[in-house]
């Protein structure tokens, strides 16, 4: 039976972000989950060390969330949001506006983070047309930014490895540098920040009249390798957007819903974006709901007689899905009763201390963390910061070793990702970090043996 399923998976599936040749060597099929662990079809258990790709909040099979879906099923599973609404989507809209930055008063639902970003891009573009400034058509995006995998989101993304192939399909966007302190010359975070802000200002000064909006991840560039922005950077970007009349689109898909120790990461800098995309944690990791927030000012630019053609012509079949909205509402209720955001903020310090243990390892170059969003950058040589060669696949090997030791996560190149569910206890965090430590040690030692051999 088990064997049969594995054969079927190899025969018919094509998995996202996966070289299927790798999958065929190490297939894994998850059957169930409980708390912060998942179990495969052979009964082996794993810590969900990356929250099932950065989603999970309260653990798996959370009683209240399961119940919210069952209760909603007794009423209806889905009806459309085109031209009408439904009960949970309406209640969820009110709740989301309540917990988001004050200037954001409108929400537009979709089904994934990439879509939420596409929607923000199209809204920004059409906003300027609707207010009679149609020369503002271009975007500024951040170096190494990631906003999802649809063509618009890829166009404002810049992760070389994922995006290079699709170059000819993309619309062009201006690229602004991002402060990557660990790999900057001076390693001085203020200097690094100010240089980047200065370059952004030079760009905006020349081009602002043709720029509709700027896109930026909030506080942490996730897919780029968990690169945490120095304090003052996001606020600095906000100030420049305001000064040059460019809309600011903040991507909170990874960072939103408590992940960094604030409900939304832009609160770290008191930033109020013009548009904000969120997803991932919104349903506690249960169902695909995403959301684009915007201001009353932008909303009003689309509000007119139908013949004026200012309508936002965009929508998806499953948008506003009742089961998803119902579980999102229950998720947000649990955020309050269980004080999730406060707990993550408090536990961040503990986690920082637990992680600092990894500094003693020969190949750990940098440990980056904001809340429960962490990346450990492995390097060939700590002193010179020389990276491991791409073909060594060091991150991948470490992740496979962790899997053997009972924990799941996916690397970003040479960066080991640690994104535990937000309810993880101190003990669980320690156990997971110990697994990481052992895996890094074992794999790097094996690599060193090979390395010496090479010479």
Ligand X SMILES: *Cc1c(COP(=O)(O)O)cnc(C)c1O
Binding letters toward ligand X, positions 255-294, x by CB under 6 A: ------------------------x---------------
Q: Hey, which residues between 221 and 260 contact ligand X (CB under 6 A)?
A: 222-223, 251, 253-254
Beta-carbon contacts of 29 under 8 Å, excluding residues fewer than 6 positions away, are 5, 6, 9, 40, 41
CB under 8 A, 24+ apart: contacts of 347-351: 347/372, 347/426, 347/429, 348/261, 348/372, 350/426, 350/429, 351/429
Number of residues that bind ligand X (CB under 6 A): 14
Distance, CA of 358 to CA of 415 (rounded, Å): 13
Cβ closer to ligand X: 161 or 206?
161
10 Å CB burial of residue 431 (0-12, 13-18, 19+) is middle
Q: Which of residues 121-160 bind ligand X (CB under 6 A)?
A: 146-148
39 is in an annotated binding site: no
Nearest-approach distance from CB 53 to ligand X, in angstroms: 7
Shortest Cβ 113–ligand X spacing (Å): 2
d(CA 193, CA 364): 24
Question: For ligand X, which is the closer residue by CB, 248 or 440?
Answer: 248
User: Of 324, 355, 91, which Cα lies nearest the Cα of 228?
Assistant: 355
Say whether 113 counts as a known binding-site residue: yes
E strand or H helix that includes residue 207: helix 189-207
**315 is annotated as contributing to ligand binding:** yes
Q: CB 156 → ligand X: shortest distance, Å?
A: 10
Contact with ligand X (CB under 6 A) among 86, 112, 294, 321: 112
The distance of closest approach from Cβ of residue 114 to ligand X in the complex, given in angstroms and rounded to an integer, is: 3
The values of phi and psi at residue 283, to 5°, are: -105, 20
- Using Cβ positions, the residue closest to ligand X within the complex turns out to be 113
Q: Is 212 part of any known ligand binding site?
A: no
Q: Is residue 113 near ligand X by the rule CB under 6 A? A: yes
Q: How many residues does the chain have?
A: 455
C-alpha 384/C-alpha 394 separation (Å) is 18
Q: Is 410 annotated as a binding residue?
A: yes
Q: Which residue from 36, 114, 341, 432 is in contact with ligand X, where contact means CB under 6 A?
A: 114
Q: How far is the CB of 451 from ligand X (least distance, A)?
A: 33
The residues, any chain, with a CB within 8 Å of residue 384's CB and separated by 6 or more, are: none
Interface residues toward ligand X, by CB under 6 A: 112-114, 117, 146-148, 217, 222-223, 251, 253-254, 279
């Amino acid at each position: 039976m088990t064997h049969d399923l594995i054969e079927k998976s190899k025969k018919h599936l094509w998995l996202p972000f996966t070289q299927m040749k790798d999958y065929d060597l190490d297939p894994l099929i998850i059957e169930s989950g409980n708390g912060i662990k998942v179990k495969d079809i052979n009964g082996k258990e794993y810590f969900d060390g990356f929250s099932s790709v950065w989603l999970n909040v309260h653990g798996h099979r959370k009683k209240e969330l399961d119940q919210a879906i069952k209760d909603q099923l007794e009423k209806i599973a889905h009806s459309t949001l085109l031209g009408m609404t439904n009960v949970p989507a309406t209640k969820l809209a009110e709740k989301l506006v309540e917990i988001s930055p004050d200037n954001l008063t409108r929400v537009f639902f979709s089904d994934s983070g990439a879509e939420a970003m596409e929607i923000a891009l199209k809204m920004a573009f059409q906003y300027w047309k609707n207010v009679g400034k149609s020369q503002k058509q271009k975007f500024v995006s951040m170096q190494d930014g990631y906003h999802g995998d649809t063509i618009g989101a890829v166009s404002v993304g810049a992760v070389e490895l994922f995006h290079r192939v699709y170059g000819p399909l993309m619309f062009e966007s201006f690229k602004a540098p991002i402060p990557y302190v660990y790999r900057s010359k001076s390693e001085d975070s203020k200097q690094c920040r100010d240089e980047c802000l200065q370059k952004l200002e030079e760009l905006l000064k020349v081009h602002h009249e043709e720029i509709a909006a700027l896109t930026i991840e909030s506080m942490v560039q996730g897919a780029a390798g968990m690169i945490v922005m120095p304090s003052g950077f996001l606020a600095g970007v906000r100030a420049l957007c305001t000064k040059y009349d460019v809309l600011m689109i903040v991507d909170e898909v990874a960072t939103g819903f408590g992940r960094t120790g604030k409900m939304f990461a832009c609160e770290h800098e008191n930033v109020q974006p013009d548009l904000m995309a969120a997803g991932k944690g919104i349903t506690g990791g249960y169902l695909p709901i995403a959301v684009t927030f915007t201001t009353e000012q932008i909303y009003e630019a689309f509000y007119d007689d139908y013949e004026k053609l200012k309508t936002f012509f965009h929508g998806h079949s499953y948008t506003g899905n009742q089961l998803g909205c119902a579980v999102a509402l229950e998720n947000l209720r649990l955020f309050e009763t269980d004080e999730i955001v406060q707990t993550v903020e408090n536990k961040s310090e503990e986690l920082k201390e637990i992680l600092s243990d990894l500094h003693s390892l020969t190949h750990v170059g940098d440990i980056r963390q904001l809340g429960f969003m962490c990346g450990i950058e492995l390097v060939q040589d700590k002193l010179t910061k020389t990276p491991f060669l791409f073909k060594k696949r060091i991150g991948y090997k470490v992740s496979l070793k962790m899997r053997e030791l009972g924990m799941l996560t996916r690397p970003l190149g040479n960066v080991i990702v640690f994104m535990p569910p937000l309810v993880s206890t101190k003990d669980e965090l320690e156990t997971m970090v110990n697994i990481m430590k052992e895996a890094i040690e074992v794999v790097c030692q094996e690599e060193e043996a090979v390395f010496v051999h090479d010479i």
